[in-house]
């Protein structure tokens, strides 16, 4: 019975993935966005689908606004003369969760993200802080790529 349930879930998952792909293929603008996002090393079909469906503002906002919207921008915890720690939080949890694993892959295989992450760690940042900062960097790169309509291989001026 357990094997039957697993097969049913696998069939439903396959149906959902086909439906997502069909929705992307039906709209030319969405198809262009998907092609640009998928060109980034480490971003697969699941991440592409989440970014397209949960973050339609991608490519329309500046880097601070998109980072704040997703919840990877540092927020001040200050009150009066007290200066608290800067933390990230809030935002669109689905997008943040979808970017976490691709950022782990990017810090190993994507030269721009890898260099950025390693520099932060060498400068004494905790690894998780450096990872979230790398996630913000990846999001910023994606935002610029979509804004300018360039795929990963074409973009060279993004630092």
Q: What is the pLDDT of residues 25-47, one digit of tens each?
A: 888 888 899 999 998 888 888 89
Cβ neighbors of 2 (< 8 A, separation 6 or more) are: none
Q: What is the pLDDT of residues 100-158, one digit of tens each?
A: 999 999 888 888 899 999 999 999 999 999 999 999 999 999 999 999 988 887 554 55
CA torsion 16→34→52→101, rounded to 10°?
Answer: 80
Taking the model in full, what pTM does it have?
Answer: 0.81
Residue 120 and residue 130 in contact, taking contact as beta carbons nearer than 8 Å: yes
- Is it the case that residue 87 has pLDDT exceeding 80? no
Return d(Cα 34, Cα 3) in angstroms, integer.
Answer: 34
Summarize the confidence of residues 61-89 as an average pLDDT: 80
């Amino acid at each position: 019975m357990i094997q039957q349930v697993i097969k049913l879930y696998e069939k439903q998952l396959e149906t959902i993935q086909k439906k997502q792909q069909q929705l992307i293929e039906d709209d030319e603008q969405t198809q262009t966005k998907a092609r640009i996002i998928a060109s980034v090393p480490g971003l697969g079909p699941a991440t592409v689908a989440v970014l397209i469906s949960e973050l339609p503002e991608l490519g329309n906002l500046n880097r601070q606004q998109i980072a704040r919207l997703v919840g990877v921008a540092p927020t001040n915890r200050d009150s009066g003369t007290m200066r608290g720690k800067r933390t990230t939080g809030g935002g669109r949890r689905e997008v943040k969760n979808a970017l976490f694993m691709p950022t782990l892959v990017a810090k190993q295989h994507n030269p721009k993200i890898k260099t950025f992450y390693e520099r932060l760690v060498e400068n004494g940042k905790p690894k998780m802080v450096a990872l979230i900062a790398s996630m913000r960097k990846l999001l910023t790169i994606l935002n610029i790529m979509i804004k300018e309509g360039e795929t990963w291989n074409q973009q060279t001026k993004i630092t």
